[in-house]
Amino acid sequence: MAKKSTLVLTHRPRRLRRQPSRRALVEETVIRAADLIAPLFVVDGKGAPEPIGSMPGVNRFNITDLVKECQELYDLGVPAVALFPKLDASLKDATGTEALNPKTLILRAVRAVKQAVPGLSIITDVALDPYTSHGHDGVLNAALDDVENDRTVAILCEMAVMQAEAGVDFVAPSDMMDGRVGAIRQALDAAGYTDTAILAYSAKYNSAYYGPFRDAVGSAKAAGTRLLSKATYQMNPANRREAIREVLLDVAEGADVVMVKPAGLYLDIIREVRNATNLPVAAYQISGEYAQIHAAAKLGWLDLARCRDESLLAIKRAGADMILTYFAKEVAQKLKV
Ligand code: PBG
């Protein structure tokens, strides 16, 4: 005989949580390796992997090691990587000239990865910050107090075409200039790259959590400050409706995938974007989100694996179809066993 209960309840939601098998049956959100995109940093030369202090477990790889890492990710079922170059400071100048060098590091890296792991999708950023001495995503105006939109877009179009030529699957404008998605689409099509897709950083916020990434690509150091303000082009964290405006513009201009960035602090935006478009939605769990979890775990204050998994689940549950995350490899490894 079942024991008599005191409350007379029609609904007892806990019934479905009674044991693991019941919980499994009613689980709504599942993370697959195929949902993940691994951001990877590349450096020139033949040096050993360079650890990034503020991003435990993340390294800058030389091209040979990058190719190996990409092969491992692909074998683990991770379908895509987002590649970021870290350039020597001597290659940076005010207009980011190196970005248009046909032999620049990122293009050599893309070719090497494409050749070795052709099935893996490659995503590359279209923005000038790894190339400029001031660390901004574009070229500055005459007064040197703002990034000049249209002149920057013209350079981004050239960058995108060169990346497409090198074989990337997605170009990812991360600069937040107005009109760049449409201009890049036209430039790609005019050059014959109608199959190169655009993953648009559509709602990219002016976040304080990009700090570790700027260490990784050296853009903060170039600018001489970790507090570089990108407030005239990246979005104000206070704004929600504006994110939808930005997303709908990018959709109209020809984006194939729209992105929200950062992810964990912007779950409401991910959900709004999910509801506003039928395009796939990407979310970028950025360097500061990753660093926070690691820092708290190192102090013994949070459990790394559980926080990692919960953070990714929350992003997917909010509506993201794909997640850029520095946890991609370890999560894919865990899913494989
Ligand atoms: C630059 C770019 C940034 C990131 C990706 N592309 C930083 C920035 O806008 O300053 C951040 C990624 C991260 O923090 O993990 N265009």
DSSP string covering 208-234: GGGHHHHHHHTHHHHHT-TT---TTTS
CATH number of the CATH domain containing 289: 3.20.20.70
pLDDT given at position 227: 52
| Cα end-to-end distance, the chain, whole Å | 41
pLDDT reading at 15 higher than 70: yes
- The pLDDT, as a whole number, for residue 174 is 96
> Which of 138-142, 183-187, 287-291 has the weakest average pLDDT?
138-142
Ligand 1 centre and the CA of 335: distance in Å? Answer: 27
Number of domains within the chain: 1
* Residue 274 confidence (pLDDT) above 80: yes
Give the per-residue pLDDT at 223: 53
Q: Which domain holds residue 50?
A: 30-336
Is 251 within a domain?
A: yes
Quick check: helix, strand or coil at residue 170? strand
Structure tokens at 189: 């099509």
Residue 8 belongs to some domain of the structure: no
pLDDT at 228: 66
Atom of ligand 1 nearest to the CA of 326: 15
Decide if 311 is inside a domain: yes
Q: Is residue 23 part of a domain?
A: no
Which among 9, 58, 24 has a CA at the least distance from the CA of 285?
Answer: 58
Quote the pLDDT of residue 215.
86
Ligand 1 atom 5, closest CA: 174
Q: How many CB atoms lie within 10 A of CB 101?
A: 13
Q: What is the pLDDT of residue 221?
A: 57
In a domain, 24, yes or no: no
Within-domain flag for 244: yes
Q: What is the pLDDT of residue 214?
A: 87
Identified catalytic residue from 92, 204, 230, 316: 204
DSSP H stretches of helix in the chain: 20-25, 63-75, 105-116, 149-166, 180-190, 211-217, 219-223, 241-253, 267-276, 287-298, 304-318, 328-336
Please choose from 155, 226, 260, 286 the residue to mutate so as to test ligand 1's pocket, defined by most ligand atoms within 8 A of CB. Answer: 286
Provide the whole-model pTM.
0.95
152 within domain boundaries: yes
Is 199 part of a structural domain of the chain? yes
Contact 46, 72 (CB under 8 A): no
pLDDT at residue 220 tops 90: no
